[in-house]
Structure 1
Amino acid sequence: MEVMADRGDGPSVEGSAGMIAEIRAPGPRPLRLLEWKVSVGAAVQIGSVLALCAPLPPAPRPATAAPPPAASGASTRAQRAGPERKLKAERPGVVRELCVRPGQVIAPGGVLVRLEGCSHPVVMKGLCAECGQDLTQIRSKNGKQNVPLSTATVSMVHSVPELKVSSEQAEQLGREDQQRLHRNRKLVLMVDLDQTLIHTTEQHCQQMSNKGIFHFQLGRGEPMLHTRLRPHCKEFLEKIAKLYELHVFTFGSRLYAHTIAGTARVSLQGMILRVCSNS
């Protein structure tokens, strides 16, 4: 059982950040909290176990006869509380407040825990990497809404454009990159790919030696491309890689960039660390 409360300034949208869900004790009997399975700040998914509880028996009716003297202590304890019960989350979110202490009895409808809606800081192909929620289904359910479902707007991995992170995550990763460069005592060197490290053409010369030339197509029906490393490219990269972290970029398409990176990786000895393109 849960009650929604919007702590933002805009309209409430399922799955949006700032939405607070109050998870309440289900009825009809009081519950004794035995153990929390989550802590403040923990991210939970649908079906995650929040706590272990034990339902208490209903209030005893006025006694009409003395209880049988043969009642044992074990059976009396069994009457005091029912079997353990797992309370599970019905929505994803982040635990913001645990409202009950272990051992405390809570009445039906009492607030157990408050969850804040996940901000979905890391999204891969429409799925939140934090809570596992399918954002495409939420968009389809809610229709056109001005409230953003996710804070993930920055594409971090060139070869995986579907992976996006929030600006906060991107800044943190940037700081980690900077710290790594400081530890390695290196700067970043941007190296152009075309007409600098390699030459690519659609024209094939029959008199041209095939040594060091890579032949490939970007797709069925596409023209055959011929790429050759410039002289002394390997020796240059071997020396410069000791001083810099190499970032190779091109104004070609994404597919072209990664085809070149994969095709020429052996000759470049894996020194193409990051390939950027205009698409």
Structure 2
Amino acid sequence: MELPAAGRVSSEGAPTATVAEVRCPGPAPLRLLEWRVAAGAAVRIGSVLAVFEAAASAQPAGAPQSRAASGGCVRPARPERRLRSERAGVVRELCAQPGQVVAPGAVLVKLEGCSHPVVMKGLCAECGQDLTQLQSKNGRQQVPLSTATVSMVHSVPELMVSSEQAEQLGREDQQRLHRNRKLVLMVDLDQTLIHTTEQHCQQMSNKGIIHFQLGRG
């Protein structure tokens, strides 16, 4: 069970990350057996967050419970329950320890919603969420679904990244070029940096202007 988190929009119009509190489902207390995720891990919708079992009512809260009964007889194992995520995002905090008895409604995980910083043809590359389905469900919603607004590859316009990702990729590319001592010369050929003519051009003595002739023409 999750506490709904409303979406927010920054001053630039980009969605900001929201934090949802995943709570222990009811109606009875549950004992946390193990976490299936760690802080900082990315999860998808349906990912298993933790494994629980029903807690004995006589067992003190927080005390570890033995699986063996007196007399050497093994107590029948209680059925395990798996807590699955109802949203995609990143785990920010685990609020319970393995072996702990958790009351219904207690906060288990704080999950930061995915901002979908890399999108390819409507699919988030981080969490796998189909943003086209969300858009169809929330057609009237004014909050942007993704921070990916920058097209990185001209030949693949469906690939979009966030401005933060674009700036990071640009810095890494610049550092790589300087480290390898290889710079890129970008030449604009549409009469902006280079002007061409088929007629004779009188040499001008303007500083910074270089004249050259291609082929025999």
Q: TM-score range by the shorter chain?
A: 0.7 to 0.9
Q: 2:4 corresponds to which residue? A: 4
Note closer, same or farther for the CA distance 1:9–1:120 as it changes in structure 2 (3 Å cut): closer
Matched, 1:107 2:106: no
Q: 1:89 corresponds to which residue? A: 85
What secondary structure, in the 3-state scheme, does the structure 1 residue paired with 2:177 have? helix
In 1: Cα distance, 2:46 partner to 2:18 partner? 19
In 2: Cα distance, 1:9 partner to 1:152 partner? 14
Are 2:7 and 2:16, in contact at CA under 8 Å, matched by a contact in 1? no
Name structure 1 gaps, 5 residues minimum: 11-15, 61-69, 196-229, 232-279
Note closer, same or farther for the CA distance 1:120–1:7 as it changes in structure 2 (3 Å cut): closer
- How far did 1:28 drift? 2.7
In 2: Cα distance, 1:17 partner to 1:54 partner? 36
Q: 1:144 corresponds to which residue? A: 140
Q: 2:51 corresponds to which residue? A: 52
What secondary structure, in the 3-state scheme, does the structure 2 residue paired with 1:190 have? coil
Q: Which has the larger radius of gyration?
A: 1
In 2: Cα distance, 1:22 partner to 1:189 partner? 50
Deviation string, structure 1 residues 17-43 (Cα, Å, up to 9, x no partner)? 433322111223321212222122221
Q: 1:18 corresponds to which residue? A: 17
Q: 1:168 aligns with which of 158, 164, 172?
A: 164
In 2: Cα distance, 1:82 partner to 1:9 partner? 45
In 1: Cα distance, 2:82 partner to 2:173 partner? 43
In 1: Cα distance, 2:7 partner to 2:121 partner? 28
- How far did 1:9 drift? 6.5
Deviation string, structure 1 residues 109-130 (Cα, Å, up to 9, x no partner)? 2111121211000001111111
What is the alpha-carbon root mean square deviation over aligned residues? Answer: 2.7
Q: 1:157 corresponds to which residue? A: 153
1:1-279 correspondence to structure 2 within 5 Å: 1-6=1-6, 8=8, 17-59=16-58, 72-76=71-75, 78=76, 82-191=78-187
What secondary structure, in the 3-state scheme, does the structure 2 residue paired with 1:156 have? strand
In 1: Cα distance, 2:7 partner to 2:150 partner? 25
In 1: Cα distance, 2:163 partner to 2:35 partner? 33
Larger relative contact order (Cα-Cα within 8 Å, sequence gap ≥ 6): 2
Percent identity between the two aligned chains: 72
- How far did 1:106 drift? 0.2
Output the amino acid matched with 1:34: L
Note closer, same or farther for the CA distance 1:7–1:132 as it changes in structure 2 (3 Å cut): closer
| TM-score relative to the length of structure 1 | 0.58
- How far did 1:194 drift? 8.5
Are 1:17 and 1:117, in contact at CA under 8 Å, matched by a contact in 2? no
- How far did 1:137 drift? 1.4
Q: 2:200 corresponds to which residue? A: none
Aligned residues: 180
Note closer, same or farther for the CA distance 1:28–1:59 as it changes in structure 2 (3 Å cut): farther
What secondary structure, in the 3-state scheme, does the structure 1 residue paired with 2:110 have? strand
In 1: Cα distance, 2:27 partner to 2:150 partner? 47
Are 2:8 and 2:143, in contact at CA under 8 Å, matched by a contact in 1? no
